Structure formats: structure tokens, C-alpha cells
Structure 1
Amino acid sequence: MLSKSNPKQIIIIVQCLFVILLVTNSYGQNTTYSQFWNEIQFNQTISEKWSTEIDVATSYSSTESSSNLFDNTIQRSLRGWAHYYYSPRWKFSTFVAYLNNKDVPEIGQFESPEWRFALQGIYYFHKTGYTLSTRMRTEFRHMRNQDDEYENVFRYRQQVKYIQPINSKILRSGVIYAIASDEIYLKSGAKVTGENFFDRNRFNIGAGYLFSDDIQIELTYCNEYLPRNNGNQTTNAASLTLSFNNLLRNIQKKIANKHNHEIKDEEE
């Protein structure tokens, strides 16, 4: 345990941390990309315990020769989810996704179609005034490498996420909220994704707004660090997510209500 009478220990520790940080950031070629990610989520409630979700996403990126974050369309994806709400604290999910990876910097900027399957669990620490959660996800990725051969990659992701309402104590219509999260990725080695066991670290910070109980938007900044044998990569990304709950059901209700009002007006 450090004491105030021995400040040299603190100086030595700080110097060691500085050297480690310097070595880490100087390993190989360090390339930085600017990106924009956008996603639209459609959630549908099936019952008290079950819901489904469909996500449509597109990602854009700068290149080594251009700083324009919309210079390249690097990925399009379609994802289908099933969610099971086991308890107020536990939520279990699974998804199947198809990703059209094209010119993705992290895998070498070549076309790599991918099928992805995942199992996920989220545990919520419900607190007064904020929500803390931890997410565990295991992914099975079936993706094409540069030799036009498909490889299987297993990846584990662990995330901690914090949500803080700004103008209310709870999340409801008209509330702005702050978001912060950090996630680590661990994976099996493969030609298409590299041999590194530690895949990346992703840090997110931003805010969201609930237009209603069924429509919300989130805008975040993401810093992603990817250690690679042929050179480390850093990604600075702006992420925009728009979510709709029970969209078709709500549209049908509005049409039915409008039809009922028209009939009532005709009768009067």
C-alpha cells in the first residue's frame, strides 16, 4: 500500500504506465479512420415475455487517402432478433445477421460477406435515477477471406453500460438521457480477422431522446482501438440509431381510430 511518505513509488508507477502507453501506441503502424454508423431498429412486442427486432444498418468510412468519413460505404447489414425477458433484471437474446462487408479497414479493406449468429444475456442493475447494465455476447461468424474461402470465427464481447436521464428520474416520453459504455472483444484467430486474441476495445459516449414511448433516437461518439500484427488501428465514429417500437401495430391503430372517427362523424 502506498504512503504519503514515499512519493517515489507513485512517480515510478506513473513512469511505468507512461512507458507502457508509449510502447502500445507505437507498436506497428497506427492508422486512424473516421466513420459514420447508422442503424434503424424495429421492435415488436409478442407477449409479456417475448419480443422480436429487425435492424437495418449502414457504415461509412474515411480512407488512408481521404479524411471524408463518407468516402466509402464499407458495410450494410440486416439483423433479426428474438428477445426473452426472463425477469426484470435478466434479458436473453439471440440473432441471425447477414453483413455485406465491403472495403472494411479492420479486415484489410476487401469484400467479405458474412453470416453471424449470436447468443446474448444482459443483466440490469436498476438504481434510482440511473441504470447500469452488463452485456455478455458470444458470436459465431462465418465470413469469406481474401482467398475466397469461408472461415469460422468465434468472438466474445463483454460490455458495461450506464444510462442517466437528464430532465427526469425515469425514462419516458420527452426525456433526454446520457449514455456511456465500454466493451472488450476477444476472438479466435483466423486469416480474415487476424491472429490477435484481443480483438478490440470500444468506448461510447453520447445522448438519446425519447419522442414517445415507442420512438427514440441516440447519437453517440465511439472510440475503437484495434491492435493488429500489421499495425494498430483507431476508429473515431459518429453513431446514429433510430428505434421504433410496435410501428406496424401503432399505424394500424391510427388507421382504425381515423376510420372510427369518420364513421362517427357520418352518423352524426
Structure 2
Amino acid sequence: MTLRDQLQQLFAHLPGLTSDPAGSYSYSLYAYSDDALTAAQLAAIATAPGSKRDAFYEQLDDIFLIWADEAFNALMDDLHRAWCETSAADNDALPWADVHDVAHDLIQETVTFTMDYDHFLQQRVYVNIIVNTGDSHTDYTANDLIPASDRDPVQIPPESSLLWLTRQQGYTRRDLYRTIMHQTASPSVFLQSVYEECRNVTTVMNALTFFVTMTLGDYLDWIDRRADITVSADTACGLWDPWAGGGSTLDIVLEKPVTIPFQYAEPAFDGVRGSYSVADTYGMLRRFWTDTVLTTSLASA
């Protein structure tokens, strides 16, 4: 029996290895429960061109190499220990120094290390979905609907995403105009909340934003499929300015689910877009982002 054959026999008893009929082995690199991609890694995924899932795998390349190297060394230690135990009573057994290189080559040639990608795909991410119906061309000032004074007319630009949302909720531009114009309590909870949201803005650049949480895997699928997304009426929603670190009360009350066409959706992990995060600006806890995504369906385009 060759030295390599002797070592291969010991492999069957090493922890973490799974053998196959061809004589090869696999070793799964499992993550700890608190292992997670960093904010910088998530930002790199979100801003990468092309496939976001490919960018996800690229971000894990360095982690994989580190973990695989650690696992390789652990296997070498286990094999060293097993060799010493089985050869302790054999005076003719080779010392480990003479076995080391053969053991190293055996592991390198027969063991495939696999990453536990699913652990990271299940990581919760906190996504701010800015709705851009053309109001980005006005630096989102098209949602500044409250006149500077009672003498100024109410203007609702056609590119306003608040106007788009109003129509999504089953109301008309005239309904929104009357609510802003008269500044009185509206029978519509939604329209009244839009008025209050507009009245309480702290900057002039205010993007209509939905705040949701989902798994990273669901986020990657959504973006790469270029899918429309539907969120429930319980979704946190409001006017947000990530560039100046301001906004309003983020308390628009939806009366029905909202479907956001992919062409209007500009999602970003909290803190990635602009200079400020919602969490830091408002001191929001993670429960502010709601797990309220109902469906993602392929965009007709």
C-alpha cells in the first residue's frame, strides 16, 4: 500500500468531508449565524453594472478564499493527528515531516471546497425604493406641492410621483388639488396623509420612497429580472431626501397595495444612495422597514 493510499484511508474518518464514488471529496464552508455581508459589500453589489447576482458572488470571493484556506489548514491538522494516532504503535511508520507534502497534495487534488451561499442570500436587507416618474429631472422638487403663501397657486407638476401615487390609489389630480388647495381635513385618509407629508417637509428635494425589507436573494432576483414590484398597503412610505438628510414624517397612509413598475423603481440599500441613511437621520429601528412585498412580476418591457 502506498503512502497516498494510507492517507486516503484516513480521510474517511475526518470531520466535514463527504466522499463520492470517484474518490473525490467535498467540504462545505458553513457560515456562523452572525456572519453577514458588510454595508460596503452590499453597496458594491447594488452599484455594480450587469448582473447583481454575479456581483454578489464576486463579493464573496475573498471570503471564500479565506475560509477555504482555513479549512485546508484544519484538514491538514486533522490528518496529521490521525496519522500520529495510527502510527504510534508502528516503529516503521514514517514521521509526519516525511508525510506532510504527500498529505498536502492529496487534499489539494481531491477536496473541493463549497461555499454556503444560501446563508448570505437569506440575509435581510433594508431597501429604500425611490419612485422616479420623471421628477428626478427637477431634483425631486416636483413633490413640493404646498404653496409658499396663500396667495400662490397650487401647482402639481405632471411628473410628480405623488400625483402618480394618487392615481394609483384611485384618486384624481383634481382630488389632490382640492386637498392641497383647501388645506382642510379630507375624507380620504390617504389624501389627508399626503397633505400632511407635504406640509412637513424639511427640504425641497423630496423623493417619494417606499421602505421595505426582504432577503438579499429576493432583492437580487427582483433587480436581475427587471420585475415590477407590488407592496401592500401596510408599507412604510413618505418623502425622503437622502442628499440633505431630511424629508418629512414618512407617514403616507396607503389605502390599497401599490404596484411600482420597474422603470420607475430606483431601489437602494439604506445609506447607499445620497449622503445620509434613514436610520441615522431619523434614528429609525430596523422594524421601520416592512416585510410587505407581495409579488414581483416580470415587467412588460
Answer 1 or 2: higher relative contact order, Cα 8 Å, separation at least 6: 2
**Which is greater in Rg?**
2
More helix by share: 2
Which TM bucket (shorter chain)? Answer: under 0.3
TM-score with structure 1 setting the length: 0.20
